[in-house]
Amino acid sequence: MFESLFDDDRHVGIGASEAELRVLVERYEQLKSRAAAAQARVTAIWAAKRAAAEEVGGVPARRRGKGLAAEVALARHDAPVCGNTHLGVARALVHEMPHTLAALECGALSEYRATLIVRESACLSLEHRGQLDAELCADTSKLAGWGNKRVEAEAKRIAARLDAAAVVERSAKAEQDRCVTTRPAPNCMVYVTVLLPVAQGVGMFAALKQAADTTFDDRSRGQVMADTAYERVTGRQAAQPVSVSLNLVMADTTLAGDDTEPGWLDGYGPVPAGFACKLTGDAVADRDAKAMLRRLYRHPTSGQLVGMESRARTFPKGLAAFIGIRDRSCRTPYCNAPIRHHDHATPDRDGGKTSARNGLGLCEACNYAKEAPGWRVTTSERDGEHTAEFVTPTQARYYSIAPPPPGTPVSRRSIVEGRFSVDLVTFEPAA
């Protein structure tokens, strides 16, 4: 039992030798795996109880379990989009892969490596999945020293031998998932990820590599490949100001150079004041880019944006843009997905208004999850602070507060602006 290790974790290891500290680190890692196994068991039980209750309640089979994945993710303080993975892995481990579950429980596998095994066996029949489980994990001693790639490769190898046709069929279906995504990188950089079928992906990389092999200047290979990719996609030189549409939110005082508050770049996050001003200045100086200045008002105490209302059932373009700028990303707690839907917290059918207060920016998955029976979302505003409360069917409560925009409320107000401060600039160079 390792629970005693946490009796007073502030003092764990004080006075211990390095060897003893190493043992503690190993034991804590084993405890994490054991906790993951226990979490999988209770998740599977939760899913079974929910299914049984909904069957008794007359819920149609196709609608049973709707919203449960999002509940599981929230309970784990994870993005709701990850809920299906957590729920699917738990069901597979508990009901179909006892050896993998045992390997996780004893610490021979980490939770991530167990997830890799479940993922690679997902295309197999129940019988073949059981064979893969036994062959790979019945003897946990052979897993010692295996990293993520080794575990994944062995699972793929066994799956391909047991049912090559199923693996090929899954690969063919995977082409439908091709996409392009972005995520922030340090130092005002960004990762652009292109998910492609292997032939296309290798071909793209080879073309960029060839461009680097035939270019001779002061740039490194990586720089040439990155610049070439940008130029071929946008049709513009890498050194030219951006011409694609982007939303940059910054304080008017930052734009004027009166303070150093960071700006907010849609799709990236906070950017330094100097970088935000450079983006603005470069676009204004470029004759092919058009810049639009939009004035938005925020509450003088909380610093959050002031709302607008509409009588329309759907959110008008201006109000939808306002909500997108205010919320930045999906408002469901722990979700980092971009906003796809502008939704009524209290549905229109229940009398919910089409307003900034009742409006939420949500990703598609979270919007559908909150429509499941037993979910309730309400919003409130206090001193200009916009809060959304999410209540799940098990009566758990989670809160989401809209982030404040760049800059801080200032005391310098014009007579016209009075109780509001004009603090934001939206910069949208036209394509």
Higher pLDDT, 7 or 317: 317
Residue whose tokens read 């379990």: 65
pLDDT value of position 8: 55
DSSP string, 217-286: SSS-HHHHHHHHHHHHHHSS-TTSPP-S---EEE-HHHHTTS----EEETTTEEE-HHHHHHHHHHHHH-
Over residues 321-349, the pLDDT tens digits come to: 888 888 888 999 999 888 999 999 998 88
Q: How far is CA 125 from the centre of its chain?
A: 31
Residue whose tokens read 């450079």: 278
Q: How confident is the model at residue 414 (pLDDT cuts 50, 70, 90)?
A: very low
pLDDT value of position 62: 86
pLDDT value of position 313: 62
Over residues 273-326, the pLDDT tens digits come to: 666 666 666 655 666 555 554 545 555 555 555 555 555 567 888 788 888 888
- CA-based torsion, 93, 99, 101, 103: positive or negative: negative
Over residues 191-211, the pLDDT tens digits come to: 999 999 888 998 999 999 999
What gap in Å lies between CA 307 and CA 355, rounded to an integer?
7
What gap in Å lies between CA 26 and CA 106, rounded to an integer?
12
What gap in Å lies between CA 82 and CA 369, rounded to an integer?
13
Structure tokens, 361: 């920016």
Q: Which of 15-19, 80-84, 92-96, 134-138 has the lowest mean pLDDT?
A: 15-19
pLDDT value of position 29: 95
Cα angle vertex 268, ends 267, 272, to 5°?
Answer: 140
Structure tokens, 2: 């390792």
pLDDT value of position 383: 77
pLDDT value of position 326: 84
Report CA Rg, the chain: 26
Mean pLDDT of the chain: 82
Q: How confident is the model at residue 4 (pLDDT cuts 50, 70, 90)?
A: low
Name the residue ranges covered by the structural domains of the chain: 3-174, 179-234, 309-401
CB 223 within 8 A of CB 248: no
Residues 6+ apart with CB under 8 A from 359: 315, 319, 323, 342, 343, 344, 345
pLDDT value of position 69: 95
- Left, alpha or beta for 319 (phi > 0: left; psi -120 to 50: alpha)? alpha
CB 121 within 8 A of CB 113: no
Give the mean pLDDT of 79-89.
94
pLDDT value of position 1: 43
